């Protein structure tokens, strides 16, 4: 190995692809970012272009490598958005469909029919996931129905998540990393294989699905060559592949009980390691974080709209997200409540019939109050999931935060206040790319596990300062608004009150 090795970490996310170069001391020495567009062809539909996504990954890698000394990059790690799905032709490799985003809700009707038939408990019991169109299974059925039937027999078709699509372009064949597979709702999460029962339920031929591989698999390293990313990477192995939230958890080194990772992005992911036998709260998902020597299981709560809420309101008000965050600091906290159920509510409610609501506004409400409500909703949703995680897996001592919104000190302080827990922020926002680089580096011998644990990770720590009585009042007002958002399907009226009690 070279005396001064570098590891390239690439994070293919919903709105952009980010790339970083990490040296042996764990410091980021170069970074680049390339935006990725979305299309909304109809209400509830969110699509991206698979070829544009692939170009963005190559462009981000190339920009990051500009000026890097040749021969020093010894490994590449990939982090990817999860649940999004694309269909391509096995022979030519050409895409047959758009990439259907994890945000897409076109599978709602199918999930509703399956739930009405009583299938939801079986789906959750096998996959560890609630029956919901966010996951890949319903998207797979839609893609085969609308793009697959006219393109020949199932054996000529390839369904894949973003990691599968990228690994195919990198020469690894038709494979999927086990953590991404655990998010498809087609895998038996404890057996780590495609479930015949789930394939039959959703109507997915197994021959259209990729082979499941560990996160740092020799089979991936042997066949995936990073030369397709940049000529200088010829012969450099793709040593690790993880889902973006899983990569962030790995980078945080959140390996002991009581530490929970929160990734703030378009949506939010709240995740902590768990026992594989965990079932947890109805609002949580059992998932596989990664697998190298052995699988690491985690409980996760997925929030559908976080940064997306800020972007939406900024567009409505004719400003930019950064300016909206500044406006929020001048708004009256609690004057307005915004529940951003634009495509239903994710964890811990998983209510696809919930609607977006704004309460408490009047003639005296200004732009600042609306901005405050939008920013605060990000932390309040995370608080609900933290309460569910604590109930399922035991006490939560601190939150480990990452993602672009962590640069907003006002948001991070409010997160500490509404959860009553310390919030420790990552030193760098690109933690998903860093986690992929860390696992790739360990797999390629750049670091030992012990050396990796000693690398710098966290910076500023926010501690709660809100009196308990004020926190309880803020949570009660929030849960009242959540109850209104769920008014069409509110089941007993008790869930909101229970969550409020947990938050205290």
Is 158 a residue whose pLDDT tops 60?
A: yes
User: What element of type H or E holds 73?
Assistant: strand 73-80
Task: Flag whether pLDDT at 278 surpasses 80.
Answer: no
pLDDT confidence of residue 433? 94
Distances from the Cα of 146 to the Cα of 95, 140, 141, 309, 388, angstroms:
14, 10, 9, 30, 38
Query: What pLDDT does 462 receive?
Result: 97
Q: Which of 96, 88, 112, 108 is nearest to 46 (CA)?
A: 108
pLDDT at 492: 38
Give the helix ranges, DSSP H, for 117-252. 120-127, 136-143, 162-169, 178-181, 196-202, 218-223, 244-252
What are the pLDDT digits (tens) for 375-427?
999 999 999 999 998 888 888 989 999 888 999 999 999 999 999 999 999 98
Strands 295-303, 357-359: parallel, antiparallel or unpaired by DSSP? Answer: unpaired
Which band of pLDDT confidence, cut at 50, 70 and 90, is reported for residue 63?
A: very high
C-alpha separations of 321 from 324, 334, 428 in Å: 5, 20, 20
Q: What are the tokens at 337?
A: 């409540």
Say if CB 419 and CB 399 are below 8 A apart. yes
Cβ contacts of residue 63 below 8 Å, gap of 6+? Answer: 19, 32, 34
φ/ψ of 491, rounded to 5, equals -90, -45
Note the pLDDT tens digit of each residue in 324-339: 999 999 999 999 999 9
């Amino acid at each position: 190995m070279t005396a001064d090795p570098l590891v390239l970490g690439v994070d293919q996310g919903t709105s952009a692809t980010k790339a970083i170069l990490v040296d042996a001391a764990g410091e980021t020495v170069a970074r680049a970012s390339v935006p990725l567009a979305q299309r909304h062809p109809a209400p509830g539909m969110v699509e991206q272009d698979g070829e544009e996504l692939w170009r963005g990954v190559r462009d981000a890698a190339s920009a990051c490598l500009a000026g890097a000394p040749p021969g020093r990059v010894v490994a590449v790690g990939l982090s990817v958005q999860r649940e999004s799905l694309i269909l391509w032709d096995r022979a030519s490799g050409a895409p047959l469909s758009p990439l259907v985003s994890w945000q897409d809700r076109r599978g709602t009707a199918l999930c509703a029919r399956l739930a009405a038939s009583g299938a939801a408990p079986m789906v959750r019991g096998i996959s560890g996931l609630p029956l919901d169109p966010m996951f890949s299974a319903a998207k797979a059925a839609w893609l085969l129905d609308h793009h697959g039937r006219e393109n020949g027999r199932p054996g000529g078709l390839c369904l894949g998540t973003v990691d599968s699509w990228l690994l195919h372009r990198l020469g690894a064949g038709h494979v999927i990393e086990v953590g991404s597979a655990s998010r498809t709702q087609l895998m038996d999460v404890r057996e780590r294989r495609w479930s015949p029962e789930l394939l039959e339920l959703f109507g997915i031929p197994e021959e259209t699905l990729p082979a499941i591989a560990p996160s740092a698999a020799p089979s991936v390293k042997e066949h995936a060559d990073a030369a397709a990313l940049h000529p200088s990477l010829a012969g450099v192995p793709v040593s690790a592949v993880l889902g973006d939230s899983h990569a962030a958890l790995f980078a945080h080194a959140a390996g002991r009980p009581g530490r929970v990772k929160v990734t703030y992005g378009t949506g939010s992911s709240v995740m902590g390691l768990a026992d594989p036998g965990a079932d947890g709260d109805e609002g949580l998902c059992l998932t596989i974080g990664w697998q190298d020597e052995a699988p690491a299981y985690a409980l996760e709560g997925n929030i559908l709209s976080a940064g997306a809420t800020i972007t939406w309101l900024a567009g409505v008000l004719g400003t930019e997200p950064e300016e909206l965050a500044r406006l929020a600091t001048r708004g009256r906290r609690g004057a307005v409540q915004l529940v951003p159920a634009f495509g239903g509510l994710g964890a811990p409610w998983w209510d696809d019939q919930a609607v977006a609501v704004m309460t408490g506004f009047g003639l005296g409400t200004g732009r600042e109050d609306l901005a405050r409500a939008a920013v605060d909703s990000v932390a309040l949703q995370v608080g609900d999931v933290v309460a569910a995680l604590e109930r399922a897996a035991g006490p939560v001592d601190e939150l480990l935060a990452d993602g672009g919104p962590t640069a907003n000190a006002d948001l991070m302080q409010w997160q500490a206040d509404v959860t009553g827990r310390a919030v420790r922020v990552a030193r760098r926002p690109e933690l998903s790319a860093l986690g992929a680089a860390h696992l790739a580096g360990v797999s390629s011998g750049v670091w030992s596990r012990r050396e990796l644990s000693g690398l710098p990770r966290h910076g500023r720590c926010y501690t709660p300062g809100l009196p308990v009585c004020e926190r309880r009042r803020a949570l009660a007002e929030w849960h009242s608004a959540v109850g209104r958002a769920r008014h069409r399907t509110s089941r007993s009226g008790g869930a909101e009150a229970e969550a409020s009690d947990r938050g205290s």
